Amino acid sequence: MKFNERFAVHPEDFKSYGTEKIRKEFLVEEVFVKDEIVLTYSLYDRYIVGGAFPVGKKLPLESFDSLKADDFLARREMGIINVGGKGIVKAGSETFEMEYKEALYLGKETLGVSFASADSGQPAKFYLNSAPAHKKFPNKLVTLSDAEVVELGSLEASNARKINKLLVNSIVDTCQLQMGMTELQAGSVWNTMPAHTHNRRMEAYFYFEVPADQAICHFMGQPEETRHIWMKNEQAVLSPSWSIHSAAGTSNYIFIWGMAGENLDYGDMDTFQPKELK
């Protein structure tokens, strides 16, 4: 298992950061490594983002020193979305087969979790998000047909998109974790516009299906003084509660959003129109 930690940043300090510092503190460049689990532990709401990429072997989910727990999910819940080939997740006595774009919720105290690919020639890629949990809820597989779907934006504004709410409180019981997937239509590049913040929760974005010769420009910072990070395919970025989280790509793409905090209301946000951003 590969593991690293990220500390919280004050917005006033953030204003002085250059490109290298912003990337070091917020960008998760490496999510998938062959036959490894890679995790980034953020002190924003103790949120963990990472990936499990089983090709030639099964990968057990193990705890690490910072959790001070014998098992990874002893005091945590986890959301998983498969962005690769068919995969298999074992969770205690349960076995879940996950197709591309399907999601799985694992509740607190779930033991014996492992990840495997059904076919090593088309390996699964499990994108992982985890947050502290105070109560145990049942494990649940969520397919795209189960999702709550919202279509927003327009081609004229270059932001026509479909939001698939997967692990949200209208679909599955969670303590604080929420996850979903937004798909941009061909010809559209802007996501999460108008931009917004939500002081009640932090967020993480993971971009995938970005063509090899294309890139994503992710915008963050306070609305009155924004910064940007250029990102490649299958990279993630952490977004503090005080920061906007929006992006434009040089091609259309898909991204997974995950969040945790004190409010499960998806609509809990403070919106800023494009002309208000600086």
- Give the whole-angstrom CA distance, residue 193 versus residue 191: 6
- Give the whole-angstrom CA distance, residue 242 versus residue 131: 19
Phi and psi dihedrals of 87, rounded to 5? -130, 165
- Give the whole-angstrom CA distance, residue 217 versus residue 248: 5
pLDDT digits (tens, 9 = 90+) for 150-183: 999 999 999 999 999 999 999 999 999 999 999 9
The count of other CB atoms within 10 Å of the CB of residue 191 is 29
- Total domains present in the chain: 1
DSSP element (H, E) containing 26: helix 19-26
pLDDT digits (tens, 9 = 90+) for 3-50: 999 999 999 999 999 999 999 999 999 999 999 999 999 999 999 999
Hey, what are 57's tokens? 């072997």
- Give the whole-angstrom CA distance, residue 274 versus residue 278: 9
What is the rounded average pLDDT for all residues in the chain? 95
Q: Where are the alpha helices (DSSP H) in 144-261?
A: none
What average pLDDT does range 65-90 have in this prediction? Answer: 97
At residue 5, the pLDDT reads: 95
pLDDT digits (tens, 9 = 90+) for 249-259: 999 999 999 99
pLDDT-based confidence at residue 112 (cuts at 50, 70, 90): very high
At residue 266, the pLDDT reads: 76
Range of the domain at 213: 2-276
> Residue 117 burial by CB count (10 A; 0-12/13-18/19+): exposed, middle or buried?
buried
- With a CB cutoff of 8 Å and minimum separation 6, the contacts of 134 are 108, 175
Which position has the token pair 């490894």? 36
- Give the whole-angstrom CA distance, residue 36 versus residue 34: 6
Hey, what are 166's tokens? 């997967």
At residue 56, the pLDDT reads: 94
CATH of the domain at 62: 2.60.120.10
> Residue 97 burial by CB count (10 A; 0-12/13-18/19+): exposed, middle or buried?
middle
pLDDT-based confidence at residue 199 (cuts at 50, 70, 90): confident
Query: Does 267 have pLDDT greater than 80?
Result: no
Closest by CA position to 152, among listed 197, 198, 184: 184
**Pairing label, strands 201-208, 76-82:** unpaired
